[in-house]
Amino acid sequence: MKRRVISIILCGLMVTGLLSGCGDSASSTTTSTTGSSGADTTADVADSATSDSASAESTTAEASTSDVSGSLTIWEHDTAFESSLEAVVEGFKAKYPNVDVEYEFKSDDYQNALTIAIQSGDAPDVFWTNGTATAYFGEFQKADALMDLTDIVDTSELPEDGLSIGTIDGKLYSVPWSCVDTRACYYNKDLFEDNGWDVPKTFDEFEKLLQKEKDAGYIPISLSPNNAWCLLFAFEPILSAYDSDYTEGLADYSVKATDDPARGAMNKMLEWADKGYFGDNYLGVADGNAQVLTFTSGEAVMDIDGSWDTNTFLENNPNLNLGAFQIPDNNGKTGMVGTLANGFSIYKGTKNADAATAFLQYCATTEAQQAWVDGQGAVSGNKNVKSGSAVAEEIANCDTMYTSWQAVLTKHAKDGENASTLFENDITKVFTGDMTTDEFFDEIANVMQ
Amino acid sequence: MKKKRKKKNYVYFILPGFLMYTVFIIIPIIYVIYLSVFDWSGLGAKVFVGLDNFVTLFTDNKIGPEFWHALLNNLKYMLCIWLIVTPLQFIMAYLFYIKIPAFKYIKFMVFMPYVISSTIVSFFATMIFNPNIGILNDVLKKLGLSQGSWFGDSHWAFAIFIIIVIWQSSGSGMMIFYSNLLDIPKEIMEASSIDGCNEMQRFKYILLPLSLPSCVSIIIMSTIWALSVFDLPYILVGSTGGVHSVLDFVNLVFYRYTFGSVLNGQTNYGFGAAISTLMLVVIVIVTSVQNKILSKFEYEN
């Protein structure tokens, strides 16, 4: 009898030891921080708060700020947005001091982590999505994971086009950000000055510039062919310069995504690869980070990349004299290939509905939108919000705005098919020589309307 | 009466571990096998599709060849481990056994990389082998030699991968062989030198056969590991599997098709479960065949 009791107690101790050893081993690539104060950004937010934006919301909010309490968990998908999120959370906490805010960045694993969290019923209160540009947004809505924001959030301060990315069937499910997610050709101003190069005014000048840069011993354009998105963010601006009329036609699908100009633009990129304009050993550049580092370390003169990376370049190398331009077509016309950025949604099953609604309402104010755009150094798509940096002004200095080629793939694929996944899996094969341009475009054409 | 009591006592000790094993390992495996006959994106309803997932895996024009190529890569990697890495580990253990100069220091240096997480090792490898800003190309440029694109070159990528694996994992196998060699009773060694055995003969006829038990366990473990490698290639070349898919392994194919990406994302858990189930069957078959063949070499006391 005694022996049995002793063995049971010992087993219990063993189990306790096991469990305490097992716990907390789950955190992987997430950086989780509670809202920490960034002194400069709070100053900016305070300044813009005292300026214009006298909306009805701020007065009613001030009247009830002490009523809203609770805790909020926010998930964002990329640490590139950390400074923006910090600034917005600071501004929110200034208005609603009784709410605890915690945010996490899930990076590579974001969509998977979010899906699992929603499916297990344990989702964060507020999370980022890329709206209707992705397949999973619609699935979340069908699975009743998104709170309908149509009547709860006042979006009068936001631009109309931005709202469409978060709208399904006329109902609003997420609050967009006023950033235009665009691409630009970033360049190293110091290298341009030292070598007497000028920002090109036509596409031919751009090509000649590439040869001059190569002759001077630099890598003209930094590129990673092993990541579909790096290739896309270079392809779209080059396409818009190769054939601007075609690119304009993408907006209303009056041209097909796989027509000859698109093929021609890709073949042009392959031609440049053969001439060594991406570097002789560019196949070894593993991913977007390596691409950025090649540019910020001064090995490459230019980098055609996404506008959200402006601050990343400056953080990487504060001494980099950064400039940007849009690649012109042969008539000198320039444009931004972009989509308005999407923002946060509320999880329908959240236990902090008041706090979450208050947060999204705050996000929809011009003050928060300005803070977000400033944190990115981004281009603004909202007339009430200034662009976030000098480089952003240079990026926005163009004639028109184009639709993203990849957005067309998502919007106009045949029912039940996913052209965007096909593009993502196969575009890298075109650049490593495993697939020809025509095979790639034909395969996409098969699943498009 | 007393004998029964003793039996029950040790059951209590086994129970916690057994429960944990069942809950965290057996039940998820059964759930994955169950998922493999469904089409499920992670949200919403599961649609029963029977063996469709497996049929797609084997016969689809696009996915089929990718999968077979990846499986071939896994087998290639397995052969490299059997024929290159394991003999290297044994030779190193033997050198330490015969106490070459500075053997303690070299043993420590060989074992150190094993302590570092493979994620960190592969991350630093991407930094060293980066063609534009990496150290290797920098050094080669200064020496006036030609630089390469390393992981971008399909001839070099697999070789460099094996080199990284050798660097990192020689430590573990080497330690197992070394402790096995140390376990060989001194009497046998003395008897052999009395009988006039020279070094080569001692190596061939005594040390090698007596090391086979640890060889068996190392081979079985490294086979399972070779068939399920993921972290090293994923960080080195991303989920696409590298240029010409030279570093495309089955688990990378699984990752690609099961989880989407942040910006686009089409998840298909049912299909991923089918790949996992298939690999489970493959590993079980390979391991049991190995067990049968290699059990001849086990210690027979």
For residue B24, what is the nearest residue in chain A, using CA coordinates?
Answer: A22
Using CB atoms, pick whichever of B13, B150, B264 lies closest to residue A424. B264
Position A133 pLDDT exceeds 80 = no
Same domain assignment for residues A156 and A196: no
Binned at pLDDT 50, 70 and 90, residue A33 comes out as very low
Same domain assignment for residues A331 and A365: no
Average pLDDT of chain A? 82
pLDDT score of A52: 37
Q: What is the ipTM of this complex?
A: 0.80
pLDDT score of A375: 83
Q: Does any CB of chain A come closer than 8 Å to the CB of residue B236?
A: yes
Q: Taking CB atoms and an 8 Å limit, are B266 and A421 in contact across chains?
A: yes
Report how far residue A267's alpha carbon sits from residue A242's, in angstroms, rounded to the nearest whole number: 11
Q: Name A99's bridge partners.
A: A70
Count of domains forming chain A: 2
Q: Which of A333, A341, A336 is nearest to A401 (CA)?
A: A336
Q: Which of A447, A427, A422, A424 is nearest to A437 (CA)?
A: A427
For residue B132, what is the nearest residue in chain A, using CA coordinates?
Answer: A294
Residue A382 is assigned to a structural domain of this protein: no
Same domain assignment for residues A143 and A275: no
Q: Taking CB atoms and an 8 Å limit, are A434 and B244 in contact across chains?
A: yes
pLDDT in tens, B119-174: 999 999 988 998 888 899 989 989 988 888 888 888 889 999 999 999 998 888 89
Binned at pLDDT 50, 70 and 90, residue A66 comes out as low
Residue A361 is assigned to a structural domain of this protein: yes
Q: Does any CB of chain A come closer than 8 Å to the CB of residue B44?
A: yes
Same domain assignment for residues A430 and A314: yes
Position A55 pLDDT exceeds 80 = no
Q: Taking CB atoms and an 8 Å limit, are A4 and B12 in contact across chains?
A: yes
pLDDT score of A49: 37
A238: CATH: 3.40.190.10
Position A120 pLDDT exceeds 60 = yes
Mean pLDDT over residues A174-199, rounded?
A: 90
Residues of B whose CB is below 8 A from A421: 260, 264, 266
Q: Taking CB atoms and an 8 Å limit, are A226 and B8 in contact across chains?
A: no
Mean pLDDT over residues B257-281, rounded?
A: 81
Same domain assignment for residues A122 and A193: no
Same domain assignment for residues A268 and A301: yes
Using CB atoms, pick whichever of B16, B126, B260 lies closest to residue A111. B260
Residue A3 is assigned to a structural domain of this protein: no
pLDDT score of B298: 63
Residues of B whose CB is below 8 A from A77: 262
Using CB atoms, pick whichever of B15, B133, B243 lies closest to residue A283. B243
Q: Does any CB of chain A come closer than 8 Å to the CB of residue B243?
A: yes
Same domain assignment for residues A157 and A191: no
| Residue B234 C-alpha, separation from nearest chain A C-alpha, in angstroms | 11
Residue-range definition of the domain harbouring residue A82: 31-178+341-376
- HEC states along A73-139? EEEECCHHHHHHHHHHHHHHHHHCCCEEEEEEECHHHHHHHHHHHHHCCCCCCEEECCHHHCHHHHH
Mean pLDDT over residues A204-208, rounded?
A: 93
Question: Is A176 in contact with A131 (CB distance < 8 Å)?
Answer: yes
pLDDT in tens, B78-92: 999 999 999 999 999
Q: Taking CB atoms and an 8 Å limit, are B133 and A8 in contact across chains?
A: no
Same domain assignment for residues A174 and A88: yes
Same domain assignment for residues A365 and A313: no
pLDDT score of B277: 94
Contacts 24+ apart (CB under 8 A), A428-435: A428/A225, A428/A226, A428/A227, A428/A228, A428/A231, A428/B240, A430/A266, A430/A270, A431/A225, A431/A231, A431/A269, A431/A270, A431/A273, A431/A283, A432/A225, A432/A226, A432/A283, A432/B243, A432/B244, A433/B244, A434/B244, A434/B245
Position A314 pLDDT exceeds 80 = yes
Q: Does any CB of chain A come closer than 8 Å to the CB of residue B8?
A: yes
For residue A290, what is the nearest residue in chain B, using CA coordinates?
Answer: B130
Higher pLDDT, residue B50 or B42: B50
pLDDT score of B4: 55
Residue A65 is assigned to a structural domain of this protein: yes
pLDDT in tens, B199-231: 788 888 888 888 888 888 888 888 998 999 999
Residue A102 is assigned to a structural domain of this protein: yes
pLDDT score of A242: 92
Report how far residue A179's alpha carbon sits from residue A88's, in angstroms, rounded to the nearest whole number: 14
Among the three residues A376, A403, A423, which one is the final residue of a domain in this structure?
A376
Same domain assignment for residues A76 and A198: no
Same domain assignment for residues A166 and A312: no
Binned at pLDDT 50, 70 and 90, residue B264 comes out as low
For residue B4, what is the nearest residue in chain A, using CA coordinates?
Answer: A4
Binned at pLDDT 50, 70 and 90, residue A167 comes out as confident
Residue A22 is assigned to a structural domain of this protein: no
Residue A263 is assigned to a structural domain of this protein: yes
Residue A121 is assigned to a structural domain of this protein: yes
Q: Taking CB atoms and an 8 Å limit, are B151 and A284 in contact across chains?
A: yes
Higher pLDDT, residue B252 or B148: B252
Q: Could you tell me how many CB contacts below 8 A there are between chain A and chain B?
A: 159
Q: Taking CB atoms and an 8 Å limit, are B240 and A145 in contact across chains?
A: no
Position A28 pLDDT exceeds 70 = no
Residues of A whose CB is below 8 A from B260: 111-112, 135-136, 421
pLDDT score of A154: 85
Domains and CATH numbers, chain B: 35-113+158-296 (1.10.3720.10)
**Percent of the residues in chain A that have a pLDDT greater than 90, as a whole number:** 28
Same domain assignment for residues A65 and A155: yes
